[in-house]
Amino acid sequence: MKHQGWPHDLFDGRPVIGILNTWPELTPCNDHLRELAEKVKAGVWEAGGFPVEVPVFSASENTFRPTAMMFRNLAAMAVEETLRAQPIDGAVLMVGCDKTTPSLLMAAASTDIPSIVVTGGPMLNGQFRGERVGSGTHLWKFSEAVKAGEMTAEDFLEAEASMSRSTGTCNTMGTASTMASMAEALGMALSGNAAIPAVDSRRRMMAQLTGRRIVQMVKDDLKPSDILTRAAFENAIGTNGAIGGSTNAVIPLLAIAGRVGLDLTLDDWDRCGRDVATIVNLMPSGEYLMEEFFYAGGLPVVLRHLGEAGLLHRDALTVSGAAIWDEVTGAVNHNPEVIRPVERALTPQGGIAVLRGNLAPRGAVLKPSAASPHLLVHRDRAVVFEDIDDYKARIADEALDIDETCVMVLKNCGPKGDPGMAEVGNMGLPPKVLRKGITDMVRISDARMSGTAYGTVVLHTAPEAAAGGPLAIVRDGDMIEMDVPNRRLHLDLPQAEIAARLAAWAPTHETATSGYAWLHQAHVEGADTGADLDFLKGCRGNPVGRHSH
């Protein structure tokens, strides 16, 4: 490396810090991370380390096809091998867009090299004709308005520009902001990191402080395995409930836990999140956006609330070297409309509801804070779409036998079936239903949905249809019963009929015969265990390999 002009005395055994940067121009959420990396480097130099910036696989939610989720595990595998193969003593994980955060955390967990997260931060609030508009959330809303004839295409394009007016991740409590919050609640990021807007000068200061901190972490040998304990994951699950976080937090936390050898399950998600009130009043569940969340005090206020309510493991260790409670005891809520007191919570039972029954033997999830209360207990006939192409071909057909009481069912969109588990679970309603002024229906699938989306949407149904789960044999007209308070999802058929249909079932999803798509379909596990590749689970450590020459 001396050809880069480094003086001899820098090669003195000081910690080599890999700044793992998920910046490419094709990941718009992360397009400012190159600039931010310079602040990380400054912090590393100040603390006596040797920073090296390492571009790594960046799975863009915006541009990857068929879905970024299909490539999350590939990114994690590539980053893991980079960490192990290169002479890196500690790592700064520079992330932002949805799948970049879990992929790098999974890699760090599998190598157990001292690592710390710094996120790029959310974009500024959107404003459209005097209305606060949120990334994704209003995209879905305005898209439905166009279909219903209530909004022109020209107005839609103007609104789109108005909601995306700075660099950064989605400004709602979507998947990116949720995963930034999860990293902080897990203890893998410095306190206060999650909510700082991308263009705020304090984001650059956070990057520099993170650079300083990783050097000391290497000296102290503070590793992911010291931080990513069961207590840390339970803290994160409770936090997700309090912030009204994305359903997309479920799968990555299960996967990260699998990398450190923890048996985290959907039952843990239900147990730790069920009695947590959603107090953060942010879209898509509420009114405000991430910029206001930061000004109100950000995630430390939420963590303090959880600690005072007895819902936080206060002694969980963080990357700062201190317990999480010590980091947040002085947090002050500057806006009780944005971070509400529990008596004015958006919903008294937030978190993620885990439903089970003969339609989802291994579980399915629903986000109560984003659902319509009147639909949380519902029974009606199914209208079935065999895959996303079938849905797109038929949903706008005026002859489609469907009304607002029906249960929309979408198959073959899980980890194997799509492949990659696309964010299509929040199926748009039929135009003829939208024209009635109806904005929500019960929807069930083995897919995911964007963290910016909303509705009474049952997701991640496991086993998925492509793996022969009961979802695969649902037919038009079958009666489906959903009871969220009692965590039940039931296909109203005799067990003998279900067994007969399953015996006659054959897969219909597209299958790959070569390349990464084949590897993914052959080895991906179910959503209920994190949708990781089966051969990547567990921690493989960071042994130094043989010399290459």
Q: pTM score, two decimals?
A: 0.96
32-53 b/e with 16+ CB inside 10 Å = b?
bbeebbebbbbbbbebebbbbb
Q: How far, in Å, CA of 229 to CA of 154, rounded?
A: 50
Same-fold call for 12-123+170-344 versus 353-514+518-528: no
Q: Which of 437, 440, 362 has the alpha carbon at shortest distance from 408?
A: 440
Measured distance CA(537)–CA(457) in Å, rounded: 29
Segment 537-548, tens digit of pLDDT: 999 999 988 888
| Percent of the chain topping pLDDT 70 | 100
When pLDDT is averaged across residues 220-248 and rounded to a whole number, the result is: 97
Calpha distance 95→275 (Å, rounded): 31
pLDDT value at position 148? 86
Backbone angles phi, psi at 340, to 5 degrees: -80, 150
At 141 the pLDDT is: 86
The Cα-based distances of 392 to 396, 406, 451, 490 in angstroms read 8, 18, 21, 26
The SS3 call for residue 475 is coil
**Residues in CB range of 195: below 8 A, 6 or more apart:** 121, 122, 177, 180, 181, 290, 293, 294, 298, 299
DSSP-assigned letters across all residues of 222-255 = --HHHH--HHHHHHHHHHHHHHT--GGGHHHHHH
How do residues 433-442 score in pLDDT, each as one tens digit?
A: 999 999 999 9
DSSP 124: P
The rounded distance, in Å, linking the Cα atoms of 346 and 91 is: 38
Q: Where are the domains of the chain?
A: 12-123+170-344, 125-165, 353-514+518-528
- Structural fold of domain 353-514+518-528: Glucose Oxidase; domain 1 (3.50.30)
Q: Where are the beta strands (DSSP E) in 85-138?
A: 90-95, 115-119, 126-128, 131-133
As assigned by CATH, the class of the 12-123+170-344 domain is alpha beta
Confidence at 163, pLDDT banded by 50, 70, 90: confident
